[in-house]
Chain A
Amino acid sequence: MDNAATLAPSPADSGTDYTLSGELDLAAASQLWPQARLLPDTTRIDARGVNRCDGAGAALLFDLARRGVHISGLDPALQHLIDALEPDKPLAGALPPSKQPLITRLGQWAQEWIADLTEQITFIGAASSALAGLVRRPRDLRWRDFLTQCELTGANALPIVALISFLIGVILSFQSALPLRQFGAEIFVANLLGLSLIREMGPLITAILLAGRTGAAFAAEIGTMKVNEEINALVTFGFDPIRFLVLPRLLAGLLMAPLLTVCAEVIGLAAGALVLEGFGIPFRTFVHQVTSFTDLHDLLGGLFKAAIFGLEVAAIGCLRGLSTGAGASAVGSSTTRAVVQTLVILVVTDGVLAVIYYQLGI
C-alpha cells in the first residue's frame, strides 16, 4: 500500500484541525478508525487530499459525519459515495440480544416441547392410519420404493452389521472364556454368548447400527426434500407424504431389522465358536450348548424386539426429516436429533420389553 490514507494535524492557519489524505480503503480505514474515534465531535477535517475511497473508507467518513465532525473538501465523486449511505438517516438500532432471559427461554423451550410432542402424536396417528389403510388396500404401497428401501436398509447394511457382530462375538467369548477357564467352565461361554446375542445384543446392536446409518439417512434425505420444497410438490400433486415417503421406509425398517438381527446373531455365534475352538471346545459341543440353553421363545422374543426397534428407527428418522426447518443447518440438526432420539427410545423400549418378557415368563 503505497499511498495509504493518513490523518495528521493541519497547519495552524489552515482553518481545519486535521488533514485526511491518501487512499482511504479497507486496510487504511482499519488503521485510522481507532485514531478517528478519539477525535472530539467538534473536529474539522480537511479531506481534499483523499484521492480514493472504498466502502469501508466511506463508512469511516460516515461514522465521523454522524458524530458531527465537519469534513470539508471531499472530491465530489467521493462525496457521491458518502451520499449513497444517507448519512442524515440514523442507523437502525442494535439487534436484540441473542440470549434471552431465563424465564423467556424456559417459556420458549416449553412451547417448542409441546409443539414437538404434538407433531410426534400427529405423526404416529398418521403413520398408524396409513399402515392400517395398507392392510385394506395393499396396492396403495409404492412397492418399487419399498424394495429400494429394503435394499438400502437391509442388504447395504449387511457388511457393517456382519463386521460389528463378528467383533462382538469374538470379544464377548474371549473376555468371558478367560476368567471361566480358571474354573474349568469355559464351555458355558457358549450359553452366555447364545443367550445374550439372541435375546439382547443381536437386536440392540443391529438397531444401533441402523439408527446411525439408516435413521440418519432417512432424516437427511427427507429433510433435504423438505428444504427443497419437494414435500410441498408432493402435497400439491395430491400425494400424501406419509404414504409416499414414510410407509415404504417404515415397512423396510420393520422387515429388515429382524433379518439383519438373524444375520448378526449367526455371525456373532460363529465368531464365538471360532474363539472356543481355540480353547479346545469343538464346534458340535458349542452348537449343542447353545441349542440346549436357548429355545424358540428366546429367538422369537429377540426378533419381535428387533422388529419394534426397526420400526422405531425408521419412524423417528422420517419424523425428524418431515419436521426439518429451513436451511442446510436444519438438515444437520434433524439428522442429529433423529440419531440421539432413536438411541434414547431404543434403550427405553428395551427396558420396557424386558419387563414385559419377564412378566410373561419369556
Chain B
Amino acid sequence: MSAPLIRVDHLRCGYGERIVLDEVSFEVSAGEVLALLGGSGCGKSTLMKHMIGLYEPMAGSVEIGGDDLASASGDLRERILRRFGVMYQSGALFGSMSVLDNVRLPLESFSDLDAAAIELVARLKLRLVGLEDFAGFLPSELSGGMQKRAAIARAMALDPAILFLDEPSAGLDPVTSAGLDALIRRLAQSQGMTIVVVTHELTSINAIADRAVMLDREAKGIIAIGTPAELARNEDIRVQRFFLREADTP
C-alpha cells in the first residue's frame, strides 16, 4: 500500500453548535477509490466539504498530500487546492458558458498552455467522459447524467491527483448511473487518480470502490471501514441494515 495521500485525523465537524461527525479518522492511499457511504443525513457530504476545505473543522485536521488545508493560506493553500478537483452533487456547471468553456476556464486561469493547446486538452477531457459532441452546448441543454459527466471533465481539467465526487449517481436512472460508475472506474485506472466518492448507492459502491467508510447519523462517526465485500460481511446491525436495504424503524 502506497503512502496516504489524504489523512483525516480525529475530525470533528458540524454546523454552528451542532456536531454532525466526531472523532473521524481514516486515510486514503494514492490511486485508491474510497467511498463515503451511509444513509441520508449521516454527514457524508459534510465530511467531504470539510475534506475539500469549504468548512473549517471544529477539531482535528484534514491533510491533503501532507499539508493541512484548513490552516494553510496564500500560496500553500493555492497549491493544495490544485491537488484536487471536485464534482458537486448538482454538477455546478457555469450556466452561461458552454460545456467546452466550462472545462477550458480552469486551464485558461491556472496553466501556461497556449489557446490551441487549451482547446485540445479541454476537448480531450470531454472525449474521455463521452461528451465531445456536446462541446458547444450550454449545461441547461444537457441531461442530468451528461451534466455530471461534464462536471467530472471540468474537475479533471488541471489533472489533479485527487477527485472528489459528491453523489455522482444521485437522481440518475440505473443505466446512466452504471455508465457513470464505469467512467469513474476507467478514470481511476487510466489516469491513476485517487477518487473519494460520496454515495449511498450499493451498486456504485460495489462497482467502483476499493474501500468504503461507512458513517452513521446516530453514532456521529464511522461505524465500519473496509472493502465493499468486508462491509457486506460486517456483523454490525446498522451496516447489515444498510446492505440489506432495511429501514431502521418498524
Chain A residues in the interface with B (C-beta under 8 A): 25-27, 29-31, 33-34, 54-56, 58-60, 62-63, 80-81, 84-86, 89, 91-92, 95-96, 325-330
Q: Is the CB of A34 within 8 A of B138?
A: no
Name the residue among A80, A327, A328 with the largest chain B CB count within 10 angstroms. A327
Q: Which of B16-24, B114-122, B174-182, B242-250 contacts A (4 or more CB under 8 A)?
A: B114-122
Contacts A/B (CB < 8 Å), 18 sampled? A29-B113, A29-B117, A30-B112, A31-B112, A33-B114, A56-B111, A62-B120, A84-B128, A84-B186, A84-B191, A85-B128, A91-B127, A92-B133, A92-B135, A95-B100, A96-B136, A326-B140, A327-B96
Restricting to B130-154, which residues have a CB under 8 Å from any CB of A? 132-133, 135-136, 138-140
Smallest beta-carbon distance A83→chain B, Å: 8
Q: Is B124 an interface residue (CB 8 A)?
A: yes
Q: Complex formed: what's the CA distance from A331 to B136 in Å? A: 22
Q: Contact mask B44-80 → A, CB, 8 Å, 1/0?
A: 0000000000000000000000000000000000000
CB within 8 Å for A85 and B127 given contacts A55-B191, A59-B117, A327-B140: yes
Smallest beta-carbon distance A352→chain B, Å: 37
Which chain B residue has the least Cβ–Cβ distance from A32?
Answer: B117
Q: Is B200 an interface residue (CB 8 A)?
A: no
Which chain B residue has the least Cβ–Cβ distance from A82?
Answer: B190
Smallest beta-carbon distance A38→chain B, Å: 13
Q: Is the CB of B120 within 8 A of A95?
A: no
Smallest beta-carbon distance A87→chain B, Å: 10
Chain B residues in the interface with A (C-beta under 8 A): 95-96, 98, 100, 111-114, 117, 120-121, 123-125, 127-128, 132-133, 135-136, 138-140, 156, 158-159, 186, 189-191
Residues in chain B near residue A85, CB distance under 8 A: 124, 127-128
Q: Complex formed: what's the CA distance from A54 to B133 in Å? A: 23
Residues in chain A near residue B186, CB distance under 8 A: 84
Residues in chain B near residue A27, CB distance under 8 A: 111-112
Q: Complex formed: what's the CA distance from A29 to B111 in Å? A: 10
